[in-house]
């Protein structure tokens, strides 16, 4: 960083100026900020602050080139042309989106931005909450011509004409302060971003990474954590992975240390020697996404983990992302061994000290070394050795957000449970639909008996229908896929809850024991693929039965 003064300037924008810049495609929001996070109440609070004359924050904009593309800013979609002078929003995206959408007649149809001014009460309110009284929609209040048209249609509001005119002037005169950076040096942006991020609410690592490496990168093909999450969910029906997980996957593919300085990740002055060092940021995003796609397919097909909420630990996703990035087409034997590693590291997590911490991720990811597929798998398996056999989780301590609970869920899924609504086994899509945006699998772990402890796994089945539908439509043939039988249903019908829970707990514990033993490979060899063994180093041994002695003819006398 040099001591040269930064090329930047302060500028004030009126709301109509921002609206025009958004409509023209000059204001650009980096892909990482594509998801609008404010609730309608936050938008309301912003306009209430304007009404009261309170400060409501400024913006940081970065002037640089931008490609053409379809922009999504709140409820607005804009076909933008390529331009050399775009203003990329580095800080203040929520405010800009709220201001522009709330005063736009089309965008304000979206409930998030629908605000009206209640004239008798002289205050803004969410349009959906207004039950009675004269209330003028914000887009009509913002434009004087629309305001007069509204007054003509609402003659009862004639006494408030002066108030409406005053508010229209206030809204059109309010200014939003901004710092516009003209300097194109990325190192400078990193320093500014660091300072912003050190004061107030800290941004997540994925947001910093996308802001630095994504804003103005010339990409319109969805190279962001949110876009990656959306595409993976669509391609796999695995549920939407958190942006932070996608970000960490991109990092761990390149180097096991997630705590490194990522602000110089794609420059020559990076601190760590990384794999795929010639990748651009676009390459790294794509590589991370593709490796996660392989991870998800492996978990669903080989490990028996159908949905993201069933994954025992975050390190499973990240360590496997590193593995599949370096070894995209592993040997079938290694896929089998990796599946055992997933369940062994889950079953033995307590004695191994696995909590899902960053330290766990770093140490395990470091066991995956480029160019040595078999040894990487063997190192991961060796890390799960505890000198003891696998233990079965208690059925009375069930939690869907705990690794032991996810082991139970995996065991129930392995039975290919029947969906009574379709008469077929539950699918990944069934789970994805039922668990849309849910952080845990609680909504598909159906309780069969109400008012019984939710921590008793014997009271749970995997289902995407309610209790009544499940019991009324379940066929006798499908009961076994849920570890149920006719006798248990009879106990439920007669209200003999304790007998039901005791019987099913016994059957569930037996199934869990078999599941754990099978999935962890208890008592089985963990040898690598046969082709990796070097038979040239093995001394050939033969038994007498395998040897045929040929006597040489005796010499002629």
Question: What does DSSP assign to residue 217?
Answer: S
Asked whether 481 and 413 are in contact (CB, 8 A), the reply is no
Whether residue 134 is predicted with pLDDT greater than 60 in this model: the reply is yes
Q: What are phi and psi of 61, to 5 degrees?
A: -120, 145
Q: What is the number of other CB atoms lying within 10 angstroms of the CB of residue 280? A: 12
Question: Considering the chain, what is the average pLDDT of its residues?
Answer: 86
Whether residue 189 is predicted with pLDDT greater than 90 in this model: the reply is no
Whether residue 166 is predicted with pLDDT greater than 90 in this model: the reply is yes
Mean predicted confidence (pLDDT) in 515-522: 96
The pLDDT of residue 218: 42
Asked whether 506 and 392 are in contact (CB, 8 A), the reply is no
The two three-digit tokens of residue 58, written as one number: 């400024």
Asked whether 209 and 247 are in contact (CB, 8 A), the reply is yes
Asked whether 249 and 255 are in contact (CB, 8 A), the reply is no
The two three-digit tokens of residue 31, written as one number: 């892909």
Q: pTM for the complete prediction?
A: 0.63
Question: What does DSSP assign to residue 458?
Answer: G
Whether residue 151 is predicted with pLDDT greater than 80 in this model: the reply is yes
Contacts of 155 (CB under 8 A, 6+ apart): none
Closest CA to 27 of 105, 70, 100, 86: 86
The pLDDT of residue 350: 93
Whether residue 415 is predicted with pLDDT greater than 60 in this model: the reply is yes
């Amino acid at each position: 960083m040099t001591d040269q003064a930064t090329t930047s300037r302060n500028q004030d924008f009126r709301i109509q100026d921002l609206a025009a810049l958004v409509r023209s495609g000059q204001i650009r929001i980096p892909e990482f900020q594509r998801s609008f996070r404010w609730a309608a109440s936050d938008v309301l609070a912003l306009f209430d602050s304007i009404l009261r004359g309170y400060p409501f924050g400024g913006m940081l904009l970065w002037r640089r080139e931008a490609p053409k593309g379809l922009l999504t800013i709140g409820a607005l979609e804009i076909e933008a042309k390529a331009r050399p002078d775009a203003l990329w929003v580095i800080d203040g995206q929520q405010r800009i989106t709220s201001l522009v959408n709330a005063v736009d007649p089309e965008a304000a149809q979206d409930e998030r931005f629908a605000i009206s001014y209640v004239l008798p009460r002289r205050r803004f309110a969410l349009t959906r909450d207004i039950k009675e009284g004269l209330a003028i929609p914000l887009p009509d209040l913002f434009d004087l011509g629309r305001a007069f048209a509204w007054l003509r249609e609402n003659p009862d509001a004639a006494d408030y004409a002066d108030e409406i005119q005053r508010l229209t002037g206030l809204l059109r005169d309010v200014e939003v302060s901004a710092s516009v950076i003209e300097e194109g040096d990325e190192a400078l942006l990193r320093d500014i971003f660091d300072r912003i991020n050190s004061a107030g609410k800290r941004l997540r690592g994925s947001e910093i990474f996308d802001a630095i490496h994504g804003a103005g990168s010339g990409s319109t093909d969805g190279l962001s954590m949110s876009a990656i999450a959306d595409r993976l969910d669509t391609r796999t029906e695995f549920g939407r992975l958190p942006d932070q997980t996608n970000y960490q996957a991109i990092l761990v593919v390149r180097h096991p240390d997630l705590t490194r300085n990522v602000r110089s990740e794609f420059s020559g002055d990076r601190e760590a020697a990384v794999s795929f060092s010639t990748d651009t940021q676009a390459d790294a995003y794509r590589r991370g996404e593709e490796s996660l796609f392989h991870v998800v397919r492996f978990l669903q097909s080989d490990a028996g983990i159908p949905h993201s909420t069933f994954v025992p630990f975050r390190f499973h996703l990240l360590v496997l992302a590193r593995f599949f990035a370096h070894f995209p087409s592993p040997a079938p034997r290694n896929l089998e061994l990796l599946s055992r590693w997933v369940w062994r590291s889950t079953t033995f997590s307590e004695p191994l000290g696995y909590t899902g911490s960053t330290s766990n991720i770093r140490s395990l990811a470091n066991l995956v070394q480029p160019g040595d597929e078999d040894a990487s798998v063997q190192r991961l398996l060796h890390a799960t050795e505890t000198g003891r056999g696998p233990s079965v989780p208690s059925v009375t301590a069930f939690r869907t957000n705990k690794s032991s609970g996810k082991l139970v869920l995996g065991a129930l899924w392995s039975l290919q449970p029947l969906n009574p609504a379709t008469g077929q086994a539950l699918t990944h899509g069934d789970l994805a639909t039922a668990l849309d945006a849910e952080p845990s699998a609680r909504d598909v772990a159906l309780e069969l008996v109400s008012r019984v402890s939710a921590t008793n796994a014997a009271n749970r089945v995997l289902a995407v229908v309610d209790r009544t539908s499940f019991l009324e439509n379940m066929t006798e043939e499908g009961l076994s896929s849920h570890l149920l039988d006719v006798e248990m249903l009879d106990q439920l019908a007669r209200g003999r809850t304790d007998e039901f829970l005791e019987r099913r707990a016994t059957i569930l514990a037996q199934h869990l024991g078999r599941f754990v033993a099978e999935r962890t490979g208890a008592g089985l060899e963990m040898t690598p693929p046969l082709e990796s063994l070097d038979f040239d180093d093995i001394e050939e041994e033969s038994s007498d039965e395998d040897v045929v002695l040929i006597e040489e003819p005796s010499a002629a006398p």
